[in-house]
Chain A
């Protein structure tokens, strides 16, 4: 069971990290962040089951709520960028580049 869960967590987190680092589209990067959060939640739930730790379950509930708020703010920012006519490509957003 341990190996199956940790392999799943590793695969999901690696795919999410690769999406954030490698993909160009802002929405794809946000989806990658959500994937990484899902992987961490799986690890925390497994930890809670193995060690009978209710604090990990409470942490997962809080993480789910915070991630939902983060998704709402991220998507509204992406919509704002879209309205300004700059497109969804992360490479085009270079106003703050030094």
Chain B
């Protein structure tokens, strides 16, 4: 049952990501991204990470999408005259790049040593997660908190605009 739920969520996310790519309208792209983020949050919950699914809903599907929509409104939301850029990379070079990525992916999945699943830590994965976040990664967590405050400064109006 869970497998089918993940498959359905993945298919819906893939369809709407293609819609993001092909749509001329920025509004449509933003709405498609919102659906993709909701589906990824659902996958998080199905894979046993409900807290991260909730974070995804609150931060991405809530705050960031509101910012994106407000920016689109400020820009007028006009559709582009031309959907895609003039892609001037030489075709043999582009083909070589795609081929290299494909070969690297194949080598990664075939030659990588399989790692045995670790036993679930005592107290469950959620307890180990909080221990990692606030003990092992405590410095990184503090740094990210500081980064969020610094990012908020970017929204302050500057003197020239005022």
Contact = CB atoms under 8 A, between A and B. Distances in A.
A35 B33 CA distance: 7
A69 B20 contact: no
Chain B, interface SS category: helix
Contact residue range for chain B?
35 or more
A51 B118 contact: yes
Interface in B112-141: 115, 117-121, 125, 128-129, 131-133, 136-137, 140-141
A18 interface: yes
A34 B63 CA distance: 13
Contacts of A91: 85-86
B147 A65 contact: yes
B3 A4 contact: yes
Interface string A77-92: 1110011000011110
Contacts of A4: 3, 6-7, 10
Contacts of A51: 115, 117-118
Contacts of B29: 27-28, 31
Given A68-B60, A69-B148, 12 more contacts: A23-B21, A23-B84, A25-B80, A45-B44, A46-B47, A54-B121, A68-B148, A68-B151, A71-B64, A72-B155, A79-B74, A83-B161
A1 B55 CA distance: 23
Contacts of A57: 49, 52, 125, 129, 132
Interface string B1-35: 01100110110011001101100001001100100
A19 B20 contact: yes
B100 interface: no
